């Protein structure tokens, strides 16, 4: 939380265009603002580090359980820290193989996952099936970002792409974020290029272009109808 406060202080004096709004996009804030409830499900939940102590996993889960203590389930393709259920979200038979998970969760947290799956349409269908009526999807993923294999890096998904992947959801909020923890910007995606355009490009990048965009993630909250 200290880092979030430092980021807010550092940028407080920056003048924003009238159609751009700075927000606190820290996980607890977004959960509470949208009234997200448990049980919680984290898809792509593996903490991919060696010798992760149990208190680190517990601390991560408390981020959600402090909001609602109804339970937390981690789902991943691989077993390991923060994983309760090993399952392939891209499996067309996911629902048939995991009937106890279908419609169970009040909130599904999907962060930095869909760019790494080979079939985001099947994965999105499985993720949507986990939500109870009225439940929320909390999405975060890269938009303009460098290649990062885990084990592959296949896609970048826009806000329009999210609407195609999850046609049943009603989108409640969308924002841009990056490496400053907990700081986001809300703006019309059609303004993205003009708002974020970098006027100076140096290094090897200058061989290819004289304009650029910063590293950007997209955040979004969607809700399944009752």
User: Taking a C-beta distance cutoff of 8 angstroms, is the pair 144, 213 a contact?
Assistant: yes
Write the pLDDT tens digit of every residue in 78-89.
Answer: 999 999 999 999
Q: Which domain holds residue 26?
A: 2-223
Confidence of residue 16 (pLDDT cuts 50, 70, 90): confident
- Residue 168 is predicted with a pLDDT of 98
Q: How many domains does the chain have?
A: 1
Write the pLDDT tens digit of every residue in 143-164.
Answer: 999 999 888 999 999 999 999 9
- Residue 6 is predicted with a pLDDT of 52
As a whole number of angstroms, the distance between CA 118 and CA 96 comes to: 20
- Residue 219 is predicted with a pLDDT of 98
- What's the CA dihedral at 71, 107, 131, 149 to 10 degrees? -100
CATH code, domain carrying 149: 3.40.50.150
Q: Output the CA torsion sign for 151, 155, 161, 167.
A: negative
Confidence of residue 5 (pLDDT cuts 50, 70, 90): low
As a whole number of angstroms, the distance between CA 173 and CA 136 comes to: 11
Phi then psi for residue 140, to 5 deg, are -145, 140
**Segment among 28-37, 47-56, 92-101 with least mean pLDDT:** 47-56
Write the pLDDT tens digit of every residue in 115-148.
Answer: 999 999 999 999 999 999 999 999 999 999 999 9
| Residue 144: both structure tokens together | 């303009």
Write the pLDDT tens digit of every residue in 30-41.
Answer: 999 999 999 999
């Amino acid at each position: 939380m200290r880092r979030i406060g430092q980021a807010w202080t550092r940028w407080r004096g920056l003048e924003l265009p009238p159609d751009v709004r700075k927000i606190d996009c820290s996980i607890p804030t977004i959960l509470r603002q949208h009234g997200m409830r448990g049980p919680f499900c984290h898809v792509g939940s593996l903490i991919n580090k060696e010798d992760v102590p149990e208190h680190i996993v517990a601390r991560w889960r408390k981020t959600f359980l402090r909001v609602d203590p109804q339970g937390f389930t981690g789902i991943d393709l691989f077993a390991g820290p923060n994983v309760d259920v090993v399952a392939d979200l891209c499996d067309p038979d996911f629902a048939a193989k995991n009937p106890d998970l279908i419609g169970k969760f009040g909130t599904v947290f999907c962060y930095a996952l869909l760019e790494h799956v080979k079939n985001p349409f099947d994965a999105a269908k499985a993720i949507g099936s986990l939500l109870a009526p009225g439940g929320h999807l909390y999405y975060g993923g890269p938009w303009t970002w460098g290649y990062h294999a885990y084990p592959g890096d296949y896609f970048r998904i826009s806000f329009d792409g999210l609407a195609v992947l999850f046609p049943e959801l009603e989108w409640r909020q969308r924002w841009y974020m990056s490496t400053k923890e907990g700081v986001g910007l809300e703006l019309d995606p059609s303004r993205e290029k003009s708002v974020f355009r970098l006027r100076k490009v140096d290094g090897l990048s200058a061989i290819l272009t004289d304009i650029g965009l910063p590293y950007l993630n997209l955040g979004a909250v969607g809700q399944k109808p009752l």
